[in-house]
Structure 1
Amino acid sequence: FFSIGGGMGIIYQRALESGTGKWWHDHGGDRSAFSVHDYAAAIVPPLRELDVRILVEPGRFLLGNAGVLLTRVRYIKKTATKKFAIVDAGMNDLIRPALYQSYHEIVPCRASVSDAVEKIDIVGPVCESGDFFALDRGMAELHEGDLLAIMSAGAYGFVMASNYNSRPLPAEVLVRGDKFGLIRKRQTWEDLVRGEI
């Protein structure tokens, strides 16, 4: 076999819009001219004569923008120089920002959002300085109790989640059209200690 690696990537900024063909055409830049067909056309012909099976791992391209991590703002903290929104999700739920400073769009889940933008850190409750989802992010003003959608969490989100700091894993919900259902229950404290002796 011949592995061609991770395949095509995704757009993390403006993830709500970037899933449509029209968005890619209008805003994709150089990437808009690079389709799945073009990708295959560049790779398959040189390998065809080798009589090998071609493997590609299309995870992010298929799943990245399909997953959203929902989290709630528990506290707003202000210092002389910074403002923080402490949310109930942590680096154990989505480690990508802490692990390699990946960008994930964060969208408030409310009907009306202020036009005023402020710089804020979106951080989790884990006792690590690396427990963050966004640093100095320009966002509409947030309030305690706000629900936030951390976008593009479908690839390498739940599969990299852990029980670090004895935190139970979150539930997973599948949304298809206007229907939704629980596909994985939220882990309980009992689940965490079940295998211990």
Structure 2
Amino acid sequence: MTYILQIETATRNCSVALAKDGQTLLCKEIAESGFSHAEKLHVFMEAILKEAQLEFKDLSAIAVSQGPGSYTGLRIGVSAAKGLCYSLNIPLIGIDTLETLARKLTIEKGVVIPMIDARRMECYTAVFDTTYQKVKAIQSEIIDENSFGEIQETIHFVGDGAAKCKTVLTDAKFVFHDEIEFPSANEMSAIAFDKYKKNDTVDVAYFEPFYLKDFMLPSAKL
């Protein structure tokens, strides 16, 4: 049996899940206006293992959201994951945050575009087909009325970045799924297990989140 603990902290959603052989057993998460990841992450991990009647030593691997997303959130999640992998001597698996978000929606036709808010009219995006294969690479995109004009199929938007784009993306081909705001560790299970079986892991010592944009401190007011 393969038990993988999964950590998703790239957005306001602090999410932890436990999966067995690619199937989610338990998931605990909370999305608050202020980031509570540092306080909630370890509490969720311990609670999930206790509820599953397992210990950390029973884990086969740790999977963590690798970004893009919040600089602070990603740092917290990756730091916790790396610490566990070091202490338990188990592999670390990096998971594309946008793919995790895309997997919250099932479609038969068209494409899914997950959108993570990157402030103002900018979003972190990628394009996925009906089987969650990436057909357009991850990018940080400023959204305007011409965005995604090259795609002729129905486009399904998910994520907290999508809501602010409704006023400019008004074509009939655009479908907004407002109920899907944040990625969750619940949708990491199948991806993580597949990577584990293929030994598709990352170097614990050198792994860093995929920030996409450089972190910048707010300008000081004079």
For normalisation by structure 2, the TM-score amounts to: 0.28
For normalisation by structure 1, the TM-score amounts to: 0.30
